[in-house]
Chain A
Amino acid sequence: MLAVIVVVLLFASFGLLLGHAARRFRVECEPIVEEIDALLPQTQCGQCGFPGCRPYAEAIAEGRADIDQCPPGGEDGVKSLAELLGVEPKPLDATRGETKPKAVAVIDEPVCIGCTLCIQACPVDAILGAPRFMHTVIAAECTGCELCVAPCPVDCIRMEPVRETAATWRPPEPAAAQP
């Protein structure tokens, strides 16, 4: 009888101790959403079917979306997501669009009528302008999401690939060794 009581008391005290420790020393780990969001290219283009990278990250975390829906992230993006989530990498979902080289939006300024529709469409506030005044794109802030192209009533926005400069130039890799 005594043995039973001792064991029960011991177990109860360990349980309390562990319960307390779990609360007292809880490690604030970075939620998985943050980690997924950090791997996404933050283009905010919505090609994944969600209104931005963060909502897509949340959808992946909750299992509502697959990892192959982000064309700007490309195959590398899928690979790193697969690595993070411990799943098999897969090819990009071609219906979502294709991976393009980085581009920025350019407004043909004489044609612009100042309607502000592109300003409302831009997810990162990269377009500057006022009603009935010419608008312009702040190239350094533009993510190349193309969301401003469709709403323009006079089709004065086009996407231009980012030109390589001496500052962004990458040295080429040497040719592969001949066996």
Chain B
Amino acid sequence: MSVFKLWNFPGGLALPGHKEASTRLALRAARVPERLVFPLLQRDGRNATPLVAPGDRVLKGQAIAGGEDPLNPPLHASTSGRVRAIEALPLPHPSGLADLCIVIEADGKEAAVEFEGIADYRDCAPEDLRRRIHEAGIVGLGGAAFPTAAKLAPGRRRIETLILNGAECEPYITCDDSLLRHRAAEVLRGAAILRHMLQAEQVLIAVENDMPEAIASLERALPEARGENVAVVRVPAIYPAGGEKQLIRALTGREVPAGGLPADVGAVCLNVGTAAAVSRAIVQGEPLISRIVTVTGRGVRRPRNLDVRLGTSIADLVAQCGGYTDEAERLILGGPMMGLSLPRDDLPITKSANCILVAGRGETVGPRQALPCIRCGACADACPAALLPQQIYWYGRSEQLDRALDYRLFDCIECGCCDLVCPSRIPLVQQFRAAKGQAAARQREREQAEHARQRFEARQARQAREQRERADAARRKKESLGKAAAPEIREAIERAKLKRMERPSTTGSRTAPTGSELQPETTDPMNTYSSRQWR
């Protein structure tokens, strides 16, 4: 391997890896459970539309939810069976709230739809390949679950570098490591396909330098990707080197602008697992129905990596790893730094689930009593996004949301470095998440208000128009009556007028009743409506 010039990104921490436990045992396919759950809620609050109904028979690989929205790739049944229900079940979400899920009862037959692969991807236009990737339901498997097809449409921007992210920087997580150890060839095939699609000059596969087996396995497979200009790059094991912006900075020296995309600096960054899924989708025609999940921590008896069908419950995975030990204290989806604490284990594995950490005592930092900020600035030194966490924290706490946004709240990647170095043990990231939620809620409220305003104004305009039209119609009627009336009619009207003037004298004190006296005010809504209609 040639010596590759690496750049530094600001901040970051060297953390103990804790990766040995889960890599001791080889990757194994998890058993197919009897019941699979597929939450419809996708990224950014988008909901997938179900394509099946309760009672339907589904085949392995059949699309069960989705649509044409490029930011909402379809979901597929990960085994054959029957749709038992579409019901609200608890989600693997920090809120712990329930939302609609498709529940499939497996029949154990593993009957699959016919997968159609492409013999040579080079014959296909990038557009066609992109459609296939969307239809295969592929999203980023690094944890953020961003739709891959959308990432592969850089528009007019020229892509020089395709980066495959195997720098699994968060402690405990080893799913990319075990993927590279066991399926390096698949990753390289995916790299070739992606390079063809993006017309990228070079492919860099970034691997942390504490993953020697993965690097060796990749290098063994490298001759297969001859002519594709693929290089394996060792990056220092500094958390969060595997963050997208940090990795691009480390490899290319360029900084992705705030609010911008990697494509703005000529790079596209995808997880190695995503590349392998792309290879399976294009070469074998197989949609994304499984992923590798690390089950680890001192709270689980036999930590290991499992190739898991999507929809499998977490409890099922823990059971396959020997069950919980007495030490088990907290259940975390993801790693100890960025993962989310789960209140229960009957939750399904989704496309974004990379690790189940059953933490023992002292393995994670639980809720703790914070002391006041002493403004030491340690958080700013550790921040890999070069932010000022202490300032954002201050503005977030004092409800000065606009100031927090000015200090680039939304550039925070929630890596947790500031939390870890804070001598006052302030839960900074929790504050940032709360502030982000507030900002998002405010944005939603504004959009709803704008929508209501438009509807109100449209209604007012319509009412004004209707009134005008009614007035016009009444005037026209009057005019046409006055003009077109024949002499006999006019005479008749004159006679009627005369009669009316004569009547009071002939009938004495009796006066003609007026309309309002004849018709007492009606309270029957039906009447009000019909009279209005026939006016």
Contacts and interface: CB of A to CB of B under 8 A. Distances in A.
B344 interface: no
A166 B99 contact: yes
Given A168-B444, A174-B427, A174-B430, A44 B97 contact: no
B97 A165 contact: yes
B456 A170 contact: no
Contacts of A117: 525, 528-529
B466 to A, nearest CB: 12
A143 B448 CA distance: 8
A41 B449 contact: yes
Interface in A23-49: 37, 40-44
A173 B426 contact: no
B437 A170 contact: yes
Helix, strand, loop or mixed for chain B's interface?
A: helix
B450 interface: yes
A141 B455 contact: yes
Nearest to B526: A115
Interface in A160-179: 164-179
A168 B444 CA distance: 9
A52 B99 contact: no
A131 interface: yes
B456 A166 contact: no
A143 B447 CA distance: 12
Centre residue among B373, B445, B453 by max chain A CB count within 10 A = B453
A177 B434 contact: no
Interface string B374-398: 0000000000000000000000110
Interface stretch (B12-20, B88-96, B193-201, B491-499): B88-96
B514 interface: no
A53 interface: yes
A158 interface: no
B450 A170 contact: no
Contact of B434 (A42, A168, A170, A178): A170
Contacts, number: 109
A44 to B, nearest CB: 5
Contacts of B444: 168
A141 B441 CA distance: 17
B370 interface: yes
B515 interface: no
Nearest to B452: A42
Contacts of B452: 42-44, 124, 141, 143
Assign chain B's interface to a size class: 35 or more
B459 A166 contact: no
A40 B456 CA distance: 13
Nearest to B426: A177
A165 B99 CA distance: 7
Contacts of A41: 445, 449
Interface core residue of A124, A175, A176 (most chain B CB under 10 Å): A124
A125 interface: yes
Given A42-B456, A166-B93, A168-B441, A178 B427 contact: no
Contact of A177 (B45, B373, B459): B373
Contacts of A179: 371-372
Contacts of A168: 45, 441, 444
Contacts of B71: none
Interface in B311-370: 369-370
B457 interface: yes
Interface in A121-179: 123-126, 131, 141, 143, 153, 164-179
A53 B456 contact: yes
Interface residues of A, number: 37
B390 to A, nearest CB: 12
Interface of A is mostly: loop
Contact of B525 (A153, A164, A169, A172): A153
Interface string A84-115: 00000000000000000000000000000101
A174 B452 CA distance: 34
B453 A42 contact: yes
Contacts of B8: none
Interface string B429-443: 011011011101100
Contacts of A125: 455, 458-459
Contacts of B94: 169, 171
Give the one of B450, B452, B459 with max A CB within 10 A.
B452
A116 interface: yes
A52 B95 contact: no
A143 B449 CA distance: 8
B145 interface: no
A124 B440 CA distance: 24
Nearest to B441: A170
Contacts of B217: none
Nearest to A132: B526
Nearest to B369: A178
Contacts of B202: none
A52 B426 contact: no
Contacts of B371: 177-179
B252 interface: no
Contact of B41 (A54, A123, A167, A175): A167
Interface in B84-141: 91, 93-95, 97, 99
B225 to A, nearest CB: 41
A171 B93 CA distance: 11
B373 A173 contact: no
9 contacts: A124-B456, A141-B455, A168-B441, A169-B95, A170-B441, A171-B434, A173-B396, A174-B370, A176-B397
Instruction: Give the 9 A-B residue pairs with the shortest CB-CB distance, closest first.
Output: A167-B45, A170-B437, A169-B95, A115-B525, A42-B449, A42-B452, A124-B455, A171-B433, A174-B427
Given A170-B438, A172-B430, 15 more contacts: A41-B449, A42-B452, A42-B453, A42-B456, A52-B460, A115-B529, A116-B529, A124-B456, A125-B459, A141-B455, A166-B95, A171-B436, A174-B430, A177-B373, A177-B424
Interface of B: 41, 45, 47, 91, 93-95, 97, 99, 369-373, 396-397, 424, 426-427, 430-431, 433-434, 436-438, 440-441, 444-445, 448-453, 455-460, 525-526, 528-529, 533
Interface of A: 37, 40-44, 52-54, 113, 115-117, 123-126, 131, 141, 143, 153, 164-179
